[in-house]
Amino acid sequence: MNKVTIALLQHSCGDNVSKNLDKALGMIDSAARKGAQIIATQELFKSRYFCQQESYDFFRLAEPVTERSVTIKELSLLAKKRKVVIAASLFERVAGGVYYNTTAVLDADGKYLGKYRKMHIPDDPQFYEKFYFAPGDLGYKMFKTRYADIGVLICWDQWYPEAARLTALMGAQIIFYPTAIGWLPADKKEYGERQHASWETIQRSHAIANGCFVAAANRIGREPNSEKGKEGIEFWGQSFVADPYGSILKRSSTEKEEALIVAIDLDVIETKRVQWPFLRDRRIDSYGGILNRFNEE
Amino acid sequence: MNKVTIALLQHSCGDNVSKNLDKALGMIDSAARKGAQIIATQELFKSRYFCQQESYDFFRLAEPVTERSVTIKELSLLAKKRKVVIAASLFERVAGGVYYNTTAVLDADGKYLGKYRKMHIPDDPQFYEKFYFAPGDLGYKMFKTRYADIGVLICWDQWYPEAARLTALMGAQIIFYPTAIGWLPADKKEYGERQHASWETIQRSHAIANGCFVAAANRIGREPNSEKGKEGIEFWGQSFVADPYGSILKRSSTEKEEALIVAIDLDVIETKRVQWPFLRDRRIDSYGGILNRFNEE
């Protein structure tokens, strides 16, 4: 047995950034006391999901993400104090006009291990991320932490088997997905159930295809939209952890603020990959067309 | 509405090859009379799943797959007569020592459109396919048939997001998976349920990731193993069709011989891909590592 206990933070966010941060820090502290060793936040956990609107005002929420930056230092202190690994999703500012959707990873001694910048950026009604974020330029990442080798991908990346594959091929045993996904109230009746099912299914499939654990942390709550006639987004929660067979080990509720704490056995990865040796039989000689947008005649 | 009706044949197989063929021809004929326009067989439908054992004897089951070969001509006549597209999975012999696991496609006028050779070949206890089949050398395929543009992948290919992606990027609206998968009785209690769940989940995920239909035809029945102490395989049936949201439109039983006939609306593909524009945001500049077996440090 090679056990590690992970936790996914799922909470609502208000207008006050420092209150949101305090809430997350409190949840990390509490999860650590309950035995969590690797803890991931939801996407952009310090603020409301501002990408619902295109507004210049929200760029003031962005901050540097380096080992010396304010939020990273605060997270680092807590990581060290509680001996926990933290994957924290932040709105990164590099320079005026250069912003990313970024997740930083702190090791259990507080050391800043680096960051991943969201590679796949959506642009859909009320998810106007292309307005705010440049596409990630650091590629896929694997972080060797004290408790496990982890990968981090972010929300829209969830829909791309390529991103999960590449992260797993770097050696990630667990892929964390900080997420902010929910229903538009007008769509919920017709599409809500299958949107959620699609979301869960494709992430379970990444666990199956790659023989790794997948852990998605989503936010909860209805967040208003300042534009006239827009009803906001109802985030669907349901953070979950799937094992290498794609089985859901544990799932949060749709509405409850909670840290989903799950003990997993990393040895299952090797067992599964020996039983179903998908990596052995990949036809790497035949995948060149993946590098095209579409293979037109 | 751009409707097409597809059918997946699910049946047991006995020792007698010509009886198995007659059964499948009868099921094609019957499905066509019920309105099916594109009909796919299960994997290697003319015989028992001989790959349970490694035996030189079974190579006699192999046959040429060309527009002039015997089985293709017979299927072609039926395709023309009933105005149906047929995707038929056959054990192909090219020369002594050169055999493939192949699916041929006949158009609704009986024309032979070509073949796909299984790219990913398994080798697991009682699934000794590497002994029988050379890995496919024709790459991924899209066939423009009278009723739809279809792709064909075969069984073990199911586990590879790359194969589905490449087939969809060629323009396939429906990906058919002739399959022979089942439980080893000794494993069924511990792993049976999640093996089946993994299999269905990953194929649903291909429909989601690519915004296409997925249709998997599996065999049924317990087939004996001639080796001492081996209990054979219990094929789990449950052929199914999933729509571009990954929703299962219809699923066969575990044990009943049947043609699963499903009317689908090809216009859903465009609707889904507009709603969830995953293909737009693929980071093709970042996928080079997919062409490696593993990205070692």
The yes-or-no answer on residue A190 being catalytic is no
Non-local (6+) Cβ contacts of A172 within 8 A are A142, A149, A150, A151, A212
The predicted pLDDT at position A171 comes to 98
* pLDDT at res. B226: 86
Residue A4 has a pLDDT of 98
Contact A160 B286 (CB under 8 A): no
One-letter amino acid at A229 equals G
| pLDDT the model gives residue B1 | 77
The verdict on residue A297 lying in a domain is no
A126 within domain boundaries: yes
Q: How far apart are CA B38 and CA B28, in angstroms?
A: 10
Q: In what order do the strands lie in the sheet with A98-106?
A: A112-117, A98-106, A85-95, A38-40, A3-10, A258-265
B144-155: pLDDT as tens digits: 999 999 999 999
Note whether A281 contacts B165, CB cutoff 8 Å: no
Residues 6+ apart with CB under 8 A from A271: none
Residue with tokens 């229903």: A183
Q: Residues A207-218: pLDDT tens digits? A: 999 999 999 999
d(CA B105, CA A238): 43
Tokens of B262: 């499903």
* Most distant CA pair in chain A, distance: 58
Task: Report yes or no on A296 lying in a domain.
Answer: no
Angle at B186 between CA B180 and CA B189, to 5 degrees: 90
Structure tokens at A89: 């999703």
For the segment B223-233, the average pLDDT, to the nearest whole number, is 91
Of A124, A139, A292, the CB nearest to B169: A292
Instruction: Tell me the three state secondary structure of residue B217.
Output: strand
By Cβ distance, the residue of B161, B208, B289 closest to A198 is B208
Catalytic residue among A23, A46, A115, A118: A118
pTM over 0.80: yes
A241 SS3 class: strand
What local confidence, expressed as pLDDT, does residue A227 receive? 87
The total number of structural domains that make up chain B: 1
Look up residue B34 and give its two tokens.
């019920």
Q: Is the pLDDT of residue B181 over 80?
A: yes
Q: What stretches in chain A show pLDDT beneath 50?
A: none
Distance CA B187, CA B195 (A): 10
Side by side, the strands of the sheet bearing A182-183 are: A182-183, A233-236, A220-223
Q: What is the pLDDT of residue A228?
A: 86
For residue B297, being part of any structural domain is answered with: no
- Are B100 and B125 in contact by the 8 Å Cβ rule? The answer is no
Task: Please spell the DSSP secondary structure of A264-291, one letter per residue.
Answer: EETHHHHHHHHHS-TTTT--GGG-GGGG
Residues B196, B197, B202, B204: what is their CA dihedral angle, to the nearest 10 degrees? 110
Residue B142, domain CATH = 3.60.110.10
Contact between B235 and B181 (Cβ < 8 Å): yes
Name beta bridge partners: B235: B182, B221
Contact A276 B160 (CB under 8 A): no
CB contact under 8 A, A287 and B166: yes
CB contact under 8 A, A291 and B292: no
Of the pLDDT bands very low, low, confident and very high (cuts 50, 70, 90), residue B175 is: very high
- Would you say the C-alpha torsion B17, B18, B21, B23 has a positive or negative sign? negative
**Cα-based angle A41, A47, A48 (whole degrees, multiple of 5):** 105
CB atoms within 10 A of CB B255: 16
Q: Where are the alpha helices (DSSP H) in chain A?
A: 17-33, 70-82, 129-132, 161-169, 185-210, 267-275
Integer angstrom CA distances of residue B123 from A74, A244, B13, B92:
51, 20, 22, 18
Q: Which residue of B has its CA nearest to A170?
A: B295
Q: Is A93 helix (H, G, I), strand (E, B) or coil?
A: strand
Distance CA A182, CA A221 (A): 9
From its phi and psi, is residue B79 left (phi > 0), alpha (psi between -120 and 50) or beta? alpha
Q: Which residues of B touch A287 (CB under 8 A)?
A: 162, 166, 290-291
Q: Contact A282/A215 with Cβ under 8 angstroms?
A: no
In terms of residue numbers, what domain contains A56? 3-291
Q: Which two tokens stand for residue A96?
A: 């005026």
Which residue type is seen at B175? I
pLDDT at A291: 97
Q: Which of B149, B183, B195, B208 to mutate to test the interface with A (most CBs of A within 10 A)?
A: B208
Residues B179, B10: Cα–Cα separation, whole Å: 10
Token digits of residue B68: 């002039």
| Residue showing tokens 């997350």 | A24
Report how far residue B188's alpha carbon sits from residue B193's, in angstroms, rounded to the nearest whole number.
7
Give me the interface pTM, i.e. the ipTM. Answer: 0.97
Per DSSP, the three-state class of B102 is strand
Q: At a CB cut-off of 8 Å and minimum separation 6, what does A92 contact?
A: A62, A63, A64, A65, A99, A100, A101, A102, A115, A117
Residues of B with CB below 8 A from A208's CB?
A: 159, 198, 201-202
Copy the structure tokens of residue A6.
């992970």
| Closest by Cα among B122, B126, B116, B133 to B156 | B122
User: Which chain B residues are Cβ-neighbours of A209 within 8 angstroms?
Assistant: 159-161, 202
Distance from CA of A197 to the nearest CA of B (A): 8
The pLDDT of residue B227: 87
Q: Answer for the pair A161, B205: CB distance below 8 angstroms, yes or no.
A: yes
Q: What is the pLDDT of residue A111?
A: 98
What the block records as the tokens of B188 is 């069924």
What's the CA gap between B212 and A122, in Å, rounded?
20
Output b/e per residue, A73-106; b: 16+ Cβ within 10 A: eebbebbeebebbbbbbbbbbbeeeebbbbbbbb
